[in-house]
A and B are shown apart, each in its own frame.
Chain A
């Protein structure tokens, strides 16, 4: 196994507010891992530190063998081509059509000929389970679930090795959320992707996640297979998993 993402004693402080106080863990290639924790425990912050949008106060983040903290802009740009990020609300460019949104990474970062881009965009749409006709629509005309799928197609355009997802199922109805979960798992398995996602959604956790990492009080309080984390004695984790106790065992991994 080789590590694609390594957090080493991360400390993050916003003013007086200590968010992370020595967070250390490693994600191996091919893992589908989830960060869980209450509101304000710095899950999204950790995600942003992994991709270089934020800098930790102390500690070291290593993504695909590169120290993110000491990377210069050129190195970061090389790195940016190797991961994909799905933002919470999709963050589609509202002035471009769906097809143009997906074509942006191809046009900006590759020499793909124009004659190939149109069929490729159609294929990427179908890869995330959308009809190619959706390509002509504007982002404002899409439902929440479709926006997420289009954003996923855009994040997958450059064939990333690692995919970051910030609350992928928030704002989706339960059926749409489960379908999106299955899509992520299918793609992760078929494309050999490493996935790190932040989620509050227990169903996501119980259905597609190999490994859960729980944050509380600035530290990792539990790390391991979902079933093991669910069996933890920590009061917050107990409450969290108890919310689903009646059917919890149904499809636990």
Chain B
């Protein structure tokens, strides 16, 4: 501890030189006080600066650096600083500090980019991502073609495992969410239709909306969050552990081993989940129709049979594999491009979910416009 009332440094002028008596304990804990005391000294560069260690009890690198840093900033040349009556250990420490700080220019403070720069960088990153996605899709397509020539290389076991994870395990959550959406949709529609005594049209509305739009979109969003994130995290951690390199080294193609089974599993599984969603959504609508609107179950089913176009159901199911391919390709590509640290896995997983959901919605809009033009 500092002796009470005494400053850590004392300046006196002796024989044409400034003598600095370092006093007491020069430890990291006192660094702010020492920095302040040193800064307050009336030092003149150009004169020799003598450091006297006779009153010094303890010294460490931080406080030594604080002193030299200040002298350096004032413009003292290295050879204008000398030491005397230093303990051997303190002298060695000071000379190490002095020698090492010579080659230590202050690192430039990290400037945070302006809003314009951030937007620019994000845009460039998006363009680069898109280009890389394209490259990855091309690579995967080539590997798929190679697989057609030698189908015995297809990893059936891996595909089945992924299918189980992505599809079978997702049935409860998909059924729950679409059921609730069916309930909400039928309820809101019913409130409006009741005013005109047109409650039976609720059946038309629920059937069409659930099968053609709601179920595909919701299921794709759930799968993007569940399986897309899982794919990126799995492949990303394998990348971190250098497992991907190990696969290549064993003469296998990482795309055939990891990507294609996931792609096929998702493309096969998503339509099935959409079908489950269709059933659950209609069941939700039926519940409200019976309970709230007085439509009996047989008349609900009859009406549905009469008005729900098969084409609406098929369109809904047909969108699913397209969504699946986009989600799987984005997820696997983001997993493959993880860099070797823990944070990157998290970043890429988040990015997968965001990109997948955006693409699902963009694709759905494209479907709506194209089908409109085709008049389906």
In the assembled complex, B295 has its CB within 8 A of some CB on chain A:
no
User: When the two chains form the complex, which single residue of B27, B32, B103, B110 contacts A159, counting CB atoms closer than 8 Å?
Assistant: B27
**A112 contacts B93, C-beta separation under 8 Å:** no
Q: Which of B13-71 contact A (CB under 8 A)?
A: 27-29, 31-32, 35, 60-62, 65-66, 69
**A125 contacts B61, C-beta separation under 8 Å:** no
A residues within 8 A CB of B103? 126
In the assembled complex, B89 has its CB within 8 A of some CB on chain A:
yes
**A111 contacts B69, C-beta separation under 8 Å:** no
Q: Mark A107-124, 1 if CB is under 8 A from B, else 0.
A: 000111100101111110
**A135 contacts B107, C-beta separation under 8 Å:** yes
User: When the two chains form the complex, which single residue of B28, B93, B101, B109 contacts A126, counting CB atoms closer than 8 Å?
Assistant: B101
A residues within 8 A CB of B93? 190-192
> For the complex, what is the distance from the CA of A139 to the CA of B240, rounded to whole Å?
14
In the assembled complex, A140 has its CB within 8 A of some CB on chain B:
yes
> For the complex, what is the distance from the CA of A235 to the CA of B35, rounded to whole Å?
57
Evaluate whether A110 and B106 lie within 8 angstroms (CB atoms) in the complex, with A138-B341, A189-B92, A191-B61 already known.
no
Total residues of chain A contacting the partner, CB 8 A: 33
Q: Mark B89-130, 1 if CB is under 8 A from A, else 0.
A: 100110011001101111111100000000000000000000
In the assembled complex, B343 has its CB within 8 A of some CB on chain A:
yes
Residue of A nearest to B60 (CB): A159
In the assembled complex, B339 has its CB within 8 A of some CB on chain A:
yes
Residue of B nearest to A109 (CB): B28
Evaluate whether A118 and B106 lie within 8 angstroms (CB atoms) in the complex, with A127-B100, A159-B60 already known.
yes
B residues within 8 A CB of A138? 341
Quote the shortest CB–CB distance from B75 to chain A (angstroms).
Answer: 16
Evaluate whether A125 and B32 lie within 8 angstroms (CB atoms) in the complex, with A94-B342, A159-B61 already known.
no
In the assembled complex, B340 has its CB within 8 A of some CB on chain A:
yes
> For the complex, what is the distance from the CA of A47 to the CA of B31, rounded to whole Å?
31
**B61 contacts A127, C-beta separation under 8 Å:** yes
User: When the two chains form the complex, which single residue of A116, A118, A126 contacts B100, counting CB atoms closer than 8 Å?
Assistant: A126
Residue of B nearest to A99 (CB): B107
**B341 contacts A140, C-beta separation under 8 Å:** yes
Quote the shortest CB–CB distance from A194 to chain B (angstroms).
Answer: 13
A residues within 8 A CB of B61? 123, 127, 156, 159, 191
**B104 contacts A125, C-beta separation under 8 Å:** yes
**B107 contacts A122, C-beta separation under 8 Å:** yes
User: When the two chains form the complex, which single residue of A116, A121, A140, A190 contacts B92, counting CB atoms closer than 8 Å?
Assistant: A190
**A123 contacts B344, C-beta separation under 8 Å:** no
A residues within 8 A CB of B96? 127, 186, 190-191
B residues within 8 A CB of A119? 65, 69, 104, 106
Evaluate whether A112 and B110 lie within 8 angstroms (CB atoms) in the complex, with A94-B341, A120-B65, A191-B61 already known.
no
Most A-side CB within 10 Å, residue of B60, B104, B339: B104
In the assembled complex, A132 has its CB within 8 A of some CB on chain B:
yes
Evaluate whether A110 and B31 lie within 8 angstroms (CB atoms) in the complex, with A119-B69, A140-B340 already known.
yes
Evaluate whether A123 and B100 lie within 8 angstroms (CB atoms) in the complex, with A110-B29, A159-B62, A192-B89 already known.
yes
Most B-side CB within 10 Å, residue of A123, A127, A186, A189: A123
**B104 contacts A116, C-beta separation under 8 Å:** no
Quote the shortest CB–CB distance from A76 to chain B (angstroms).
Answer: 18
**A113 contacts B107, C-beta separation under 8 Å:** no
Q: CB within 8 Å of B: which residues of A?
A: 94-95, 97, 99, 110-113, 116, 118-123, 125-127, 132-133, 135-136, 138-140, 156, 158-159, 186, 189-192
Q: CB within 8 Å of A: which residues of B?
A: 27-29, 31-32, 35, 60-62, 65-66, 69, 89, 92-93, 96-97, 100-101, 103-110, 339-344
